[in-house]
């Protein structure tokens, strides 16, 4: 009798396992006709929110003059010591110089090997010179290439999808021509 009971319970067990597995399978099957959640990324654009903190860009004002006045506040606010600046004086009149003030950054480097993209530099900047862009493609072969210089950061502005250069910025933007980022801003 006991053997019979064991056989019955074993069969019951098998049926129960098969039933619950089939129940799980039905969930999987019900997902087949639904929309795909994945994006085939390099071919299709990814959607990114506006606040996304990506690679920085250095801004220029409406006349195409660099906004950075080399006040070192971004470097002081940086928790990772990623920003290196060398300031200089440019005594020429406004129309000729590259910055919007007498003082400008001769060297402006961000080490993306150190940067943690916290955005404290952007909060600190008193002239809105440094901003977060939306670029996230920065794979390189050597760590040295992660140190980005001023011309690279300035050119980053024109990569933003929603930035359209004004008439006075056009010559500058043409000189620093860059491909637009393959993203959709949301």
Could you list the residues that contact another protein (CB under 8 A)?
A: 13, 16-17, 19-21, 23-24, 26-28, 31, 37, 48-53, 71, 73, 76-77, 79-80, 116-120, 123-124, 126, 128, 132, 186
Given the complex with another protein, which of 119 and 165 has the nearer CB atom?
A: 119
Q: How many CB atoms lie within 10 A of CB 60?
A: 24
In the complex, the smallest distance separating the C-beta of residue 166 from another protein, rounded to whole angstroms, is 20
Task: Measure the CA–CA gap between 96 and 17, rounded to whole angstroms.
Answer: 80
Contacts 24+ apart (CB under 8 A), 134-138: 134/48, 134/52, 134/54, 134/160, 134/161, 134/181, 134/183, 134/185, 135/54, 135/55, 135/159, 135/181, 136/54, 136/55, 138/55, 138/112
Please answer whether residues 158 and 165 qualify as being in contact, where contact means their C-beta atoms are separated by less than 8 angstroms: yes
Given the complex with another protein, which of 177 and 186 has the nearer CB atom?
A: 186
Place of tokens 């943690």: 116
In the complex, the smallest distance separating the C-beta of residue 23 from another protein, rounded to whole angstroms, is 6
In the complex, the smallest distance separating the C-beta of residue 68 from another protein, rounded to whole angstroms, is 15
In the complex, the smallest distance separating the C-beta of residue 103 from another protein, rounded to whole angstroms, is 15
In the complex, the smallest distance separating the C-beta of residue 86 from another protein, rounded to whole angstroms, is 18
Given the complex with another protein, which of 112 and 176 has the nearer CB atom?
A: 112
Given the complex with another protein, which of 51 and 177 has the nearer CB atom?
A: 51
Given the complex with another protein, which of 11 and 170 has the nearer CB atom?
A: 11
Pick from 151, 160, 149: which is nearest to 183 by CA? 160
In the complex, the smallest distance separating the C-beta of residue 174 from another protein, rounded to whole angstroms, is 30
Given the complex with another protein, which of 136 and 176 has the nearer CB atom?
A: 136
Please answer whether residues 179 and 156 qualify as being in contact, where contact means their C-beta atoms are separated by less than 8 angstroms: no
Place of tokens 């140190």: 147
């Amino acid at each position: 009798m006991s053997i019979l009971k064991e056989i019955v319970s074993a069969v019951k067990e098998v049926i129960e396992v098969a039933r619950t597995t089939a129940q799980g399978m039905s969930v999987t099957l019900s997902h087949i006709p639904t929309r795909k959640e994945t994006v085939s990324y390099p071919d299709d654009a990814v959607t990114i929110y506006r606040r996304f903190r990506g690679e920085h860009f250095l801004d220029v004002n409406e006349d195409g003059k660099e906004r950075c006045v080399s006040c070192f506040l971004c470097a002081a606010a940086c928790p990772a010591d990623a920003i290196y600046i060398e300031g200089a004086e440019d005594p020429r009149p406004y129309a000729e110089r590259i910055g919007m003030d007498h003082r400008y950054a001769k060297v402006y480097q961000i080490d993306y090997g150190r940067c943690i993209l916290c955005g404290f530099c952007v909060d600190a900047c008193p002239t809105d010179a440094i901003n977060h862009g939306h670029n996230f493609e920065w794979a390189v072969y050597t760590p040295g290439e992660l140190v980005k210089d001023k011309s690279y950061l300035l050119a980053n502005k024109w990569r933003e999808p929603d930035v359209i250069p004004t008439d006075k910025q056009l010559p500058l933007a043409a000189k620093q021509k860059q491909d637009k980022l393959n993203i959709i801003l949301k």
